[in-house]
Amino acid sequence: MNSSNSPLYLAIAIVQSQDEKAVSDALQRAGFEGASIATYGAWLGRRNSTLLIRVPAPQIQAFLEIMHAHCHQRTEYIATPIEGTAALPVPLSTPITIGGATIFLIPIEFYEEL
């Protein structure tokens, strides 16, 4: 049960695998507790990590600052077929922006450590 008067939040942060170690280490050094789950993105099938972090309300800004400092966007290229070239399917290299982080903050109404 939460013995503190401060509201707690569950942060669900989906980060790229390249950023996971740095952001996890920085969160741990700052005193945040949580877990990491290896996941895969549905659209590109890229490996990423989903972090589940307990964040007290007064520390939300510090948490977000760490996330901004350690999660970076990147440009990658995917092969897409050129329209109207059925006889000769030549792939077109299309740049896409990936990375950064997707973060959800969900209020925790109750938790209990057993």
pLDDT tens-place string over residues 34-46: 999 999 876 667 7
- Tally of residues, the chain: 114
Higher pLDDT: 4 or 73? It is 73
Q: Tell me whether residue 32 is in a domain.
A: yes
Phi, psi dihedrals of residue 95, rounded to the nearest 5°: -75, 140
Q: Note the pLDDT tens digit of each residue in 60-79.
A: 999 999 999 999 888 878 77
Q: Tell me whether residue 2 is in a domain.
A: no
| Alpha helices (H) along the chain | 17-29, 60-70
Q: Tell me whether residue 31 is in a domain.
A: yes
Cβ–Cβ < 8 Å for 105, 9: yes
What is the b/e burial string over 38-56, where b = at least 16 CB atoms within 10 angstroms of the residue's CB?
eeeeeeeeeebbebebbbb
Q: Tell me whether residue 88 is in a domain.
A: yes
Number of domains in the chain: 1
> What's 19's domain CATH number?
3.30.70.120
pLDDT of residue 71: 93
pLDDT of residue 85: 57
Range of the domain at 75: 8-108
